[in-house]
Amino acid sequence: MASANLHQSTSDPPLPLAQAGGLWRGLVALIATWQSRAKQRRELKEMEPWVLRDLGLSKAEAASEAAKPFWRP
């Protein structure tokens, strides 16, 4: 028995509208996460030493976190 080719063409069919909408929502959520992370790291970099102590962070830990690019968790 010959194996059947499940795909009729070499290119993928276009995504249904519902799936495409999900991709856009995911992209928007990712960008929002990146913006939030970048803002938090900017603020962390500017915090006073006494605030860092209250948060339980050393200056070195805060500097290390603030130096990370926005796309890294």
Render pLDDT for 27-70 as a digit per residue (tens, 0 to 9). 999 999 999 999 999 999 999 999 999 999 999 999 999 999 99
- Chain Cα centroid distance, residue 22: 16
pLDDT at residue 63, as a whole number: 96
* Average pLDDT taken over every residue of the chain: 85
Element (H, E) at 39: helix 17-46
CA distances (Å), origin 6, targets 3, 10, 12, 13, 28:
9, 11, 12, 13, 33
Each domain of the chain, given as residue ranges in start order, spans 21-67
Report pLDDT digits (tens) over 2-23: 555 554 556 666 666 667 778 8
CA distances (Å), origin 13, targets 4, 7, 10:
18, 10, 9
